Homo-oligomer: A and B are copies of this chain.
């Protein structure tokens, strides 16, 4: 059991007993289960919860919350465990509430182009279900994350540049509050001016304000035509200039991803591709046949002006899948550059006009590091990541990585950007929230204290201690 007294939490034991009564075998204290729920995909140390609950309905989540609330025990919503900023570690013990048992797609309306799903439904599961409807759900953070988790971190990914992030694609939520009350934040209207926007308040709250158990999402029509291309550039700057000019031209590209030379080497090895080891853009265009052609010609001309090579096209679905799978595997691919390493990820987003300067300066920062690093990202949004591959046993390397991360974050903030474009705060960015939001953090804390006065929901995440 963890040290809870200083924060006023109760011991987990009585809550675990009460939870076992209602959940039976769907409440586990097995070490392996607890370990599995004590970490995400980042290198943050494993901190297992005291037990893991596996509710299968909103009512059961509410019952879990009421019990934990009564016993003053922390609750940590858990999806696929694919977050990357230390979002799910049980820093103060308590109960991990695994929502993957809530995996039903409750309804799909092709007429309204929306659907309602339980929190544990994954994005690939949803898109498989949508296969024959002519619709798809575009938000794609790479991992096959749960929709609930994606809402919690305000996830985005490769095609947010055209279709928006989770924030733009959520219509309403069912939320279980810390005390077990259940609310629905909205209906299915495309727009509303009825009261405070609770939907967006809970979106991105990383499990610190309540459990998201059901989500109503916008869906999008599958484009009539889709075409993907890969383009090599002489240097990163040329690639980024092409991105900036494309965005400023108003062309609505569906995806626009930068991968640096080392990342391309990693992908070649991991995904058995044979691209030149040079900076590349991976692009996708959606629209009518004529529209896609029009967009692609314009971007190709911009790329050529910046010294880019010819587009290598992937028009058939199979080729495209292979291409984007390779992009999505960039993270494991990079890790293989230094097997056994601890990957450290950065995630800033800046106004597009500052992106070239920001990436140039980041490259300079990275030159000081002895470890392998790659730059990649959703550059059409002004969002990019650095992967820094650290020796897990070297405190020195981790310290260097953190120092470079801080330089990147402070630069992004100085450019009116954000310390996290899509990963969330978790533990990893908690030190920068005041730098980004100043007194706004006090307002966030006021809201947190009002909605979760006992501080039971995912404690130690998002909000820094009072200064």
Interface residues of A (CB under 8 A from B): 109-114, 153-156, 160, 165, 167-168, 177, 181-198, 200-201, 203-205, 209, 221, 244, 248, 250, 288, 290-291, 294, 349-353, 381-383, 412-413, 416-425, 429, 432-433, 436-444, 446-451, 462-463
Contacts and interface: CB of A to CB of B under 8 A. Distances in A.
Contacts of A190: 349, 351-352, 381-383
Contacts of A447: 196, 201, 447, 450-451
Contacts of A189: 349-351, 382-383, 412, 416-418, 421
The interface centre, meaning the residue of A352, A432, A451 with most chain B CB atoms within 10 A of its CB, is A352
Nearest to A210: B443
Contacts of A349: 189-192
Given A290-B294, A440-B185, A197 B192 contact: no
Copies in the complex: 2
Nearest to A450: B450
A421 B192 contact: yes
B291 A192 contact: no
A423 B419 CA distance: 35
The interface centre, meaning the residue of A109, A189, A463 with most chain B CB atoms within 10 A of its CB, is A189
Given A112-B351, A167-B197, A191-B381, 7 more contacts: A111-B353, A183-B438, A188-B417, A190-B382, A192-B420, A195-B440, A290-B290
A175 to B, nearest CB: 8
A436 to B, nearest CB: 5
B187 A436 contact: yes
A191 to B, nearest CB: 5
Nearest to A354: B112
A201 B196 contact: yes
Contacts of A429: 194
A296 to B, nearest CB: 13
A160 B201 contact: no
Contacts of A462: 195-196
Given A248-B111, A450-B450, A194 B160 contact: no
Contacts of A109: 351, 353
A183 B440 contact: yes
Contacts of A187: 413, 416-418, 436
A92 to B, nearest CB: 20
A443 B382 contact: no
Contacts of A383: 189-191
A57 to B, nearest CB: 18
Contact of A196 (B186, B204, B382, B422): B204
A446 B201 CA distance: 13
Contacts of A112: 351-353
A193 B420 contact: yes
Given A186-B418, A188-B351, A248-B111, A436 B194 contact: yes
18 contacts: A111-B244, A154-B192, A156-B191, A165-B191, A181-B442, A183-B442, A185-B440, A189-B349, A189-B412, A190-B351, A192-B420, A193-B420, A193-B425, A194-B418, A195-B444, A196-B205, A196-B462, A288-B291
Contacts of A200: 167, 197, 200-201
Given A183-B443, A200-B200, A191 B449 contact: no
Contacts of A244: 111
The interface centre, meaning the residue of A154, A191, A413, A429 with most chain B CB atoms within 10 A of its CB, is A191
Nearest to A424: B193
Nearest to A154: B193
A444 B198 contact: yes
The interface centre, meaning the residue of A182, A190, A416 with most chain B CB atoms within 10 A of its CB, is A190
Contacts of A182: 439
B450 A194 contact: no
Nearest to A418: B192
A366 B423 CA distance: 51
Contact of A193 (B111, B186, B204, B209): B204
A21 B413 CA distance: 38
A419 B195 CA distance: 10
A132 to B, nearest CB: 16
